[in-house]
Amino acid sequence: MPITMKHELHTVMAAARRTLGLVAGALIMATAAHAQSAQDSQGTWRIGASTGGYVPFSSLIIAADTRDTQLEAGPAFSLDAQYLMSRSLSIYANGMLAFGAIRLGSSIQPGSVGPSSQVMLTTGTAGLFLSSPDLLGEHLQPTLRLGGGFKYYSLDLTGAESQLRPTSDIGVGLRGIGIGRIDVTAEVRYLLSSFDQSKLPIRGITPQDQRQNDLVFSIGIGIRP
């Protein structure tokens, strides 16, 4: 699962803002039903699915000659289960798959060229999900995700080993309450973790844990049964 690296964070944030704007505009123009009452919301489940992009913006290995080893950004898909404890508070569990590639730098052994550069990233996180039903009106809610879990890197590179790393999961977004029990979401998530360089076929460096700063931006749909 190769993950494409973006060198400028402002490009990612601009894309995320455009996504949020499109969803907000669609919700404003749509005909929405009445929001559910607090009593109806408590004690129910919300199941959601989303698609978007996974964008790492930290190098796996920073090289002195600037030829860094990097993950490149790629598409991401996730499932999200939330247990609604009240109108504003839920407990969530999220699973995500992202697919990208690895760009090899000067600190990688020359023979490490195959069988492919593909990278697959699997994440599993859980925590608290907060929403504000009344801040932007009854049909548009800002949301906040606070949790943690793991990242699993699976690399298809000669001499590389898969690895499991802890990660934080912090997200902000918008949720549009539409007709019936269906809602639409747009969200930007920040996944902070590290990468063990010793799992790569390195040369000429002392391996260490390299900090990883990653963004996931997505749009999705949720159903409350």
Assign 30 to helix, strand or coil: coil
pLDDT at 78: 97
Sequence spans of domains, the chain: 9-223
pLDDT at 110: 80
Mean pLDDT, all residues of the chain: 82
On whether the pTM is more than 0.75, the answer is yes
Q: Assess whether pLDDT exceeds 90 at residue 30.
A: no
pLDDT at 179: 66
Tokens of 161: 């080993």
pLDDT at 181: 84
Record: fold of 9-223: Porin (2.40.160)
Contact indicator for 213, 189 with CB cutoff of 8 Å: no
Separation in Å, CA 98 to CA 7, 76, 78: 19, 4, 9
Tens-digit pLDDT profile for residues 52-73? 999 999 999 999 889 999 999 9
Cis before residue 115, ω within 30 degrees of 0? Answer: yes
Can you give the three-state secondary structure of 72-127, one letter per residue? Answer: ECEEEEEEEEEEECCCCEEEEEEEEEEEEEEECCCCECCCCCCEEEEEEEEEEEEE
Tokens of 56: 């790492």
Q: Assess whether pLDDT exceeds 60 at residue 7.
A: no
Tens-digit pLDDT profile for residues 80-122? 999 999 888 999 999 999 999 999 999 988 877 778 889 999 9
* Bridge partners, 129 (sequence order): 90, 145
Highest mean pLDDT among 3-7, 100-104, 122-126: 122-126
pLDDT at 42: 58
pLDDT at 225: 67
| Long-range contacts formed by 77-80: CB under 8 A, 24+ apart | 77/49, 77/50, 77/51, 78/49, 78/50, 78/51, 78/216, 78/218, 78/220, 79/47, 79/48, 79/49, 80/46, 80/47, 80/48, 80/49, 80/50, 80/220, 80/222
